[in-house]
Amino acid sequence: MTSRNLLSASLLTLALLSVPGLSQARTVVEIELAPPPPRVEVIPPPQRQGVVWAPGFWFWEDGHHVWHEGHWIDERPGYHWVPDRWEHYGNHYRHEEGHWQR
């Protein structure tokens, strides 16, 4: 790759990353097996100000559901956290990743 092509590719990448919503790549997982009910979590107290709780969720890994524990994440002013969830579509279930929303 020439330096001109490399520069063009780098500038395109930076431009795409600056577009809201494109900077966060999302993985789509669609399966036929419903996830188990969510686990009951005891939410620990936050260790500092400026964090929000991201609840635990079931994720599909290596052919089965695996529980991912909830955790504290840094808040984003002007946004709220939409937790991970599974949506039922016909005879499939699609994992919708947690994300920040205005």
Domain limits of the chain? 25-101
pLDDT for 28:
83
Q: Which two tokens stand for residue 32?
A: 């036929």
Closest by Cα among 69, 70, 62, 60 to 36: 60
pLDDT for 70:
98
Q: How far apart are CA 71 and CA 56, in angstroms?
A: 7
pLDDT for 23:
52
pLDDT for 8:
34
pLDDT for 45:
97
CB distance 83 to 57 below 8 Å? yes
pLDDT for 1:
45
pLDDT tens digits, the chain, 102 residues: what are they?
444 433 333 333 434 444 444 455 667 889 999 999 999 999 999 999 999 999 999 999 999 999 999 999 999 999 999 999 999 999 999 999 999 999
pLDDT for 83:
97
